[in-house]
Structures are given as structure tokens and as C-alpha cells.
């Protein structure tokens, strides 16, 4: 089982089929870094090209900070043409005789990073759970980790490290003490989930749902389903698949692949399902978890029907790894929610703010509206503030109009919309039966805060949601400032 500080540049070069341009391949590598600012001496600097930055422009900086070497594109040329770069990194190996930093060239540094992560993962002990889906994947990942941490040291994806850069970097953090790992897989175009599955080689693959997200790159809902089920297609024959059994399109799309599957959901046909669901006054959920071998009482400390589904998905994944129902219940009880994901905040005047600002697509918006409707506020006691949903392509106008109708369906006290498609959202709400004087387009975060706060009454619930680029957390921050400094 390999460990950093034991791996040489030669081993890495062979794993990624690279070519040595300079330096000593016996150089010991202490880790991988893609950011010269946080690079530590002895690490190998991986030069990646992104939308805003090209790592090849920071090679000199990395070498000056003591990088053991660099991995570059073949077409970049040899950075050792600079004597300064050579001199600035003479102590890169950290131990033993000084060696010159090694320069490894590959056709594509992003592809090579994935190849290295795949090589590293297959030489480690932990069993890997991979989670994808149009919504709920981060919460499901966190819930699964809460369960697996009951049984041993568990690695999990940090933040949104779920793409072709983040997932490899997550796997490269695997070390001897880890028994399990839970990784999140995101995508916005065909082929990405297939590649991530190839890299992660999961023992269990989870698809939370298929929804209207990333339509710019995927076309329509069927394109989303095909992209998500690349996980089912590419998972190894030893791997098990966990699917949302309430999602008919997901099941239909996955049916063509011969894989061992376990379904979860609220329907009676599912392998893992709830019974006796009760939403308690303290915004928790209690239910009996039914699974093929028995039943187990579970209590979630977070509200929302969507969190019930996330918990079922996490439980199903853990069952695939042989985790006991007692450990599943104990792990789920420890989950306390995530920043910006249906987080409840109590405000003065007996108001409850639901911060669901991390991101939004039509599927997650419908789930949030459904969940906020069961918080106990009652008809006319909910206020909704929504920012535009991104990456919907040619479907943007119609889906924002539909979003307004969904809002009207929960009969809110007031609805405020913001963004380029705010007019469509308000129009859809009016079409859905909401009085025009209870729906408004707001131009700024501050205006939305003021409008919703002015319309709220004691005991109301206020939901704030929007795509990441809309920075709807500023609305939440506005409410918090008003709470701290009431006029």
C-alpha cells in the first residue's frame, strides 16, 4: 500500500505514462499540489489549465517554494531552461542527497491527474462509495460519511471537490488509516460521470435522482438521465448500484445495464423505504427504516422530505457495505445539516429563515418548496425569495415560469424573485393563482431582504434559494444584520 514520502517520481511517471524532461526520477514525492500558493516543500506541482488561470504560469513560483518537480503539458517546453528555476529548488527532496527537481511531460495534465488518482485508489485498502444526482448528492455524501465513520476512519469529499480536478485530489488524500471513502461526482456534460467512475472505481455507486439541471450541456431530462447512468454503465462488475426507485426515468435508463441494484424511496416497491414518517415540532423527522433484512427506528435532526430521501439513499449505500442497521440509525442521528442547504435559522419576531442558498435547479427547487410546506407554518404563512436558476439553456424561460407556478402551489404570503428571469417567475406565480400584489421582482439582494422582511408576520417561515452565481446568501446575511441591529 503506497504512502506519500515513499513514492518516487519514477513511479508517478510510469502511472501517468509521462516523459522525463529533466531531473532525477529517484526524487521522493511528498504529495501533489495544483496550487503554488499552498504548495509545501517536496510536493509535485501539477500544472493545470483552467478557465481563469493556467498553472504553467506558476511553475517558477512552485520551484522556488521547494517543489520536488512539476508535471506539465508536452507542448509547454522545458521550464529548466531557466537557471533560476533550477537553483530555486535544489532542496526539494527534503532528505538524503540533494536532487534536481524532476520535470515530467504528458499530453494532457488533467487526464494525467485522473490517471494518477486511479492508480493511487487501486493501491489503497478503503472501499469507495460514489454519489451523484441532480440534487441531494452533497447531503447524501455527508450522511453516508456520518454512518461509515461509525465503523472506521472515513475520507470524504471536501466542499464541492466533485469534478475532474476535485475528485482525483480527494482520492489522492487516501492513506493507510482509511477504511472507507465517500466521494461526490458532479458533471455538466456527457462523459464526465463515466470518467469519474473510471477514476474512483467505486464499490457502491449512488444516484439520488434525475432532474432538470445542466440542460445547456445535456439538452433535456433524458440527456441528464443518460449522463447520470454512466455510473451504472461504468461501475465494475463487483460494484453495487443504489438508485432512487421513485424516479421512473432513472430506473428505465439504468435497466439496460446488468448491475446489482438496490432501490430506495417512499414507494412500496423499493428495497429501502420508510414507514410511519412523522415530522416533529422541533423540525426533525422520525421514521422506521424498512430494508430487506428487517427494520430500524431512525430519527433525523434535520427537516424536509428531501432529507428523508437523502437519508434513505445513505442507508442503502451503507447496507451495501454490510453496515448494521444500528450503526446506520446512529450515524444518521448525528447529521446536523450543511451551510446553505435547508438550514433553519430563528429570527426575532418568531420568524424562521430557511437558508437553501447553496445552489438551485428546478428539481431542487421543487424539493425545497415541498419541504418548506411541511414545516408547519400553514397556508399563507410562508414567504419565498428565489434567485435565477442557471445552466438551463433554451429551457430557461419556460422553467422559470414553471418555478413561479410551483411557488404559487404552496400559497405563500409573499414571493420575491431576482435575476434575468425574475419576470417569468412572477408571471408564472400569478398564472398559478397568486395575487399580483403578493409577488414582486426585486433588483438587488438588499431589496429582496427588505421586501420579504416587511411582508413577514410572527410565526412565518421564509425560504431563500437560488443558483450559486446569484449569491443568495447575501439575502440571508441581510436578514442576520437586521436581526442584530433592529431599527
Q: Give per-residue pLDDT as tens, 348-396.
A: 989 999 999 988 999 899 989 988 887 766 667 999 999 999 989 889 9
- 159, 184 Cβ separation under 8 angstroms: no
**Up-side HSE of residue 181: CA atoms within 13 Å toward CB?**
30
Report residue 76's pLDDT band, with 50, 70 and 90 as the boundaries.
Answer: confident
Q: Give per-residue pLDDT as tens, 271-281.
A: 999 999 998 76
Q: Give per-residue pLDDT as tens, 383-417.
A: 999 999 998 988 999 999 999 999 999 999 999 99
Name the average pLDDT for the chain: 91
CA distance 154 to 178: 6
Q: Give per-residue pLDDT as tens, 198-207.
A: 999 999 999 9
Confidence check: pLDDT of 92 > 50: no
Tell which phi-psi region holds residue 264, choosing left (phi > 0), alpha (psi between -120 and 50) or beta: beta
More confident residue, 78 or 65: 65
Share of the chain above pLDDT 70, in %: 94
Widest CA span of the chain, in angstroms?
A: 78
Q: Choose among 457, 439, 435: nearest CA to 448.
A: 439
Confidence check: pLDDT of 22 > 60: yes
Confidence check: pLDDT of 174 > 90: yes
Q: Average pLDDT, stretch 230-259?
A: 95
Confidence check: pLDDT of 230 > 60: yes
Return the CATH number of the domain spanning residue range 124-333: 3.40.1190.10
- 271, 241 Cβ separation under 8 angstroms: no
Confidence check: pLDDT of 56 > 60: yes
Q: Average pLDDT, stretch 262-270?
A: 97
Q: What is the pLDDT of residue 311?
A: 98
Instruction: Look up residue 239 and give its three cell numbers.
Output: 460494484
Q: Give per-residue pLDDT as tens, 421-454.
A: 999 999 999 999 999 999 999 999 999 999 999 9
CA distance 316 to 339: 24
Q: Choose among 212, 199, 323, 193: nearest CA to 254.
A: 193
Q: What is the pLDDT of residue 222?
A: 92
Return the CATH number of the domain spanning residue range 343-484: 3.90.190.20
CA distance 375 to 278: 11
Annotated domain spans of the chain: 7-107, 124-333, 343-484
| Residue 110 to residues 23, 70, 75, Cα–Cα distance (Å) | 22, 13, 14
Q: Choose among 232, 112, 132, 231: nearest CA to 172.
A: 112
Q: What is the pLDDT of residue 89?
A: 44
Confidence check: pLDDT of 250 > 90: yes
Complete DSSP assignment for 412-468:
-SEEEEESTTHHHHHHHHHHTT--GGGEEE-SSHHHHHHHHHHH--TT-EEEEE--G
Q: Choose among 15, 189, 203, 188: nearest CA to 113.
A: 15
347 CB burial (10 A radius; 0-12, 13-18, 19+): middle
Confidence check: pLDDT of 268 > 60: yes
| pTM of the predicted model as reported, rounded to 2 decimal places | 0.85
- From the options 2.60.40.10, 3.40.50.300, 3.40.1390.10, 3.90.1150.10, give the CATH code of 7-107: 3.40.1390.10
More confident residue, 86 or 403: 403
Confidence check: pLDDT of 95 > 50: no
What is the DSSP pairing of strand 343-347 with strand 351-356? Answer: antiparallel
SS3 366: helix
Q: What is the pLDDT of residue 99?
A: 55
Let me know the angle formed at the C-alpha of 243 by 240 and 249, rounded to the nearest 5 degrees. 135
Q: What is the pLDDT of residue 377?
A: 63
Instruction: Look up residue 94 and give its three cell numbers.
Output: 527534503
Amino acid at each position: 500500500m503506497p504512502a506519500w514520502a515513499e513514492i518516487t517520481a519514477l513511479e508517478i511517471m510510469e502511472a501517468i505514462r509521462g516523459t522525463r524532461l529533466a531531473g532525477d526520477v529517484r526524487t521522493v514525492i511528498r504529495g501533489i499540489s495544483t496550487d503554488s500558493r499552498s504548495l509545501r516543500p517536496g510536493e509535485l506541482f501539477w500544472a493545470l489549465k483552467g478557465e481563469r488561470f493556467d498553472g504553467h504560469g506558476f511553475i517558477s513560483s512552485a520551484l522556488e517554494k521547494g517543489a520536488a518537480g512539476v508535471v506539465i503539458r508536452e507542448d509547454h517546453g522545458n521550464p529548466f531552461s531557466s537557471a533560476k528555476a533550477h537553483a530555486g529548488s535544489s532542496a526539494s527532496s527534503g532528505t538524503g542527497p540533494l536532487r534536481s527537481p524532476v520535470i515530467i511531460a504528458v499530453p494532457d495534465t488533467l487526464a494525467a491527474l485522473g490517471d494518477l488518482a486511479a492508480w493511487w485508489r487501486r493501491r489503497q485498502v478503503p472501499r469507495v462509495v460514489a454519489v451523484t444526482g441532480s440534487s441531494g448528492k452533497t447531503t447524501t455524501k455527508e450522511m453516508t460519511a456520518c454512518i461509515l465513520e461509525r465503523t472506521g476512519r472515513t475520507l470524504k469529499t471536501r466542499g464541492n471537490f466533485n469534478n475532474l480536478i476535485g475528485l482525483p485530489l480527494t482520492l489522492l488524500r487516501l492513506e493507510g488509516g482509511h477504511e472507507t471513502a465517500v466521494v461526490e461526482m458532479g458533471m455538466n456534460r456527457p462523459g464526465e460521470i463515466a470518467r469519474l467512475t473510471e477514476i474512483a472505481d467505486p464499490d457502491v455507486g449512488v444516484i439520488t435522482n434525475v432532474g432538470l439541471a445542466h440542460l445547456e450541456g445535456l439538452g433535456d431530462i433524458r440527456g441528464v438521465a443518460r449522463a447520470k447512468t454512466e455510473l451504472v454503465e461504468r461501475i465494475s462488475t463487483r460494484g453495487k448500484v443504489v438508485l432512487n426507485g421513485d424516479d421512473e426515468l432513472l430506473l428505465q435508463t439504468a435497466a439496460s445495464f446488468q448491475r446489482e441494484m438496490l432501490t430506495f424511496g417512499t414507494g412500496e416497491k423499493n428495497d429501502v423505504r420508510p414507514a410511519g414518517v412523522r415530522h416533529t415540532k422541533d423540525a426533525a423527522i422520525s421514521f422506521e427504516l424498512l430494508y430487506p433484512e428487517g427494520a430500524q427506528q431512525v430519527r433525523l435532526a434535520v427537516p424536509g422530505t428531501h432529507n428523508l430521501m437523502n437519508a434513505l439513499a445513505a442507508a442503502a449505500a451503507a447496507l451495501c457495505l454490510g453496515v448494521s442497521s444500528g450503526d446506520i440509525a446512529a450515524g444518521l442521528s448525528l447529521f446536523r445539516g450543511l451551510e446553505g442547504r435547508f438550514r433553519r435559522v430563528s429570527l426575532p419576531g418568531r420568524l424562521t429563515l430557511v437558508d437553501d442558498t447553496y445552489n438551485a435547479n428546478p428539481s431542487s427547487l421543487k424539493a425545497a418548496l415541498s419541504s418548506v410546506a411541511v414545516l408547519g407554518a400553514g397556508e399563507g404563512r410562508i414567504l419565498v425569495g428565489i434567485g435565477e436558476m442557471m445552466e438551463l439553456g433554451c429551457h430557461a424561460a419556460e422553467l422559470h415560469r414553471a418555478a413561479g407556478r410551483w411557488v404559487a402551489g404552496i400559497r405563500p404570503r409573499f414571493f420575491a424573485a431576482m435575476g434575468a428571469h425574475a419576470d417569468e417567475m412572477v408571471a408564472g406565480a400569478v398564472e398559478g393563482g397568486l395575487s399580483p400584489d403578493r409577488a414582486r421582482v426585486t433588483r438587488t439582494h438588499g431589496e429582496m431582504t427588505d421586501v420579504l422582511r416587511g411582508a413577514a408576520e410572527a410565526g412565518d417561515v421564509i425560504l431563500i434559494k437560488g443558483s450559486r452565481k446569484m449569491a443568495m446568501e447575501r439575502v440571508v446575511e441581510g436578514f442576520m444584520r437586521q436581526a442584530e441591529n433592529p431599527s
